[in-house]
A and B are shown apart, each in its own frame.
Chain A
Amino acid sequence: MREIDVSSLSAWFGSKQVLRDINLGIERRAATAIIGPSGCGKSTLIRCLNRMHEEVRGARVEGKVLFDGEDIYDARVDPVAIRRRIGMVFQKPNPFPTMSILENAVAGLKLLGRLPKPELQERGEKALRAAGLWDEVKDRLGDPGGRLSGGQQQRLCIARALAVEPDVLLMDEPASALDPASTLRIEELVTELKDRYTVVIVTHNMQQAARVADWTLFMLYGEVVEFGPTSRIFTTPEDQRTEDYVTGRFG
């Protein structure tokens, strides 16, 4: 079942076109990886899914992105509302430095109005557990968010995104800035999360896509080259360009 349906999506930075007529269906409660060489538009694509692309000055989008039956680019839709249902984790962990660990985890919940403290505690704990961070921070929830290691910071950001209970979790190269051990932990986390959330993950590491994703999209120069089950993409790709990329013959 499709959670997100991308239809004829194109995107520009000023006059430079970075996405060309993308058509794509993101499967519900599964992990979809987007791979491709640098500059192919994968980050731009994922940012179009929660309307973050247009936050950049001069950025423009055309086309439709259907989520829950509605086009998120419809004039009547508030981008802010979309982002509460489609969350995002970035390449560089970005916990808010002036907030404690727990405050970071529940930062998104504050938008829902004044929640009583015990409820915030509870939901914060739930999110931190879901991100696999609870055991490491439960005794120091009041510490500033910036005092954690890189891998822990990233899991905190994941917890922060999960606390608002989104339908979709977008991850833009979430492990790129981390050491290999932390990277594997994040991957393991993604394989757990995809049972409950729809995950879209951009990665420049093909093996990561192979390990983690159910579906893989290969992009080149702003276009979709091939999209299919990960096992097929990595055993018998249909397009020669896909084959060349995954075997490392280019890119």
Chain B
Amino acid sequence: MPDTRRGFHEELEALQREILEMGELAGSAVQHAVHAVVFRDSEEAQAVIDADDAVDARYLDIDQRTLQTLALQTPVAADLRLVSAIIHVNLHLERTGDQAVNVAKLHLLTEDLPGSDTMRTQIREMGDLVVQMLRASMEAFDRRDLELSLRLPKMDDPVDRLNRASHLEALKLADDPSALDWGLHMNLVSRALERVGDQAVDIAEQVGFLITGEFREFTDASHEVQL
């Protein structure tokens, strides 16, 4: 039977492509921000900050279009879950973009301060992990891969460990005030990266909802992870 709501379904596909592109932008922003911190590249950091406007613009566009779609097309069933998922993922990606900006700003604030290579390595590792998580969650979304989405919470564990490790590492810089200053700022960076990890898990939750129709919280601050 031919698709009798072709225009509507084409719009849904367009919105999906937009979200995936936004995922790319957000992931790339995080990657560049971490790179800027690790390799002390202030130009790169500034570029990340400037690029956030594009992410915000996309966020608004997708937000408006999903609202429009709800009002005008009254989607149901899988279509409705998709629109809902897009709205949530849109928000998570926008926040991810904001976190990348925070990281970049934190570098600019500390660009002249000495640092610790150990911590830089930790941050680099964290950066790689959370970007991977983001990519994995977006891929799960694209391919409607439930199994992949269920693996996200596990991928978050090393990130948490690195986060705690970098806190401990910062304490070691207590002797040098400027290094400590840097170190404390880097704690904020690792927290920002940890948040990106959380956003990726949230996106995976949305994928779960989209596919199964049930919303299950994968990780909850108040509970142990149980899968």
Contact = CB atoms under 8 A, between A and B. Distances in A.
The main secondary structure of chain B at its interface with chain A is helix
B221 interface: no
A72 B68 CA distance: 37
Interface in B1-19: 1-2, 4-8
A184 B5 CA distance: 7
A211 B8 contact: yes
B8 A231 contact: no
Contacts of B7: 188, 191
B212 interface: no
A188 B71 contact: no
A185 B6 CA distance: 10
B73 interface: yes
Given A188-B7, A191-B7, A235-B67, A210 B73 contact: yes
B72 A231 contact: yes
Contacts of B222: none
B226 interface: no
Interface string B53-72: 00000000000000110011
Given A231-B68, A235-B67, A210 B4 contact: no
A207 interface: yes
B72 A184 contact: no
A185 B68 contact: no
Instruction: Name which of B5, B71, B73 has the most chain A CB atoms within 10 A of its CB.
Output: B71
A207 B71 CA distance: 9
Given A210-B72, A211-B73, A235-B67, A188 B1 contact: no
Interface in B49-101: 67-68, 71-74
Nearest to B74: A207
A235 B71 contact: yes
Interface in A192-230: 207, 210-211, 230
Interface of B: 1-2, 4-8, 67-68, 71-74
6 contacts: A181-B1, A181-B4, A184-B5, A185-B2, A187-B4, A211-B74
Interface of A: 181, 184-185, 187-188, 191, 207, 210-211, 230-231, 234-235
Closest 10 CB pairs of A and B: A184-B4, A234-B71, A210-B72, A235-B71, A188-B4, A185-B4, A207-B74, A191-B7, A231-B68, A234-B72
Given A210-B71, A231-B68, A231-B72, 17 more contacts: A185-B4, A187-B4, A188-B4, A188-B5, A188-B6, A191-B7, A207-B74, A210-B72, A210-B73, A211-B5, A211-B8, A211-B73, A211-B74, A230-B72, A234-B71, A235-B68, A235-B71
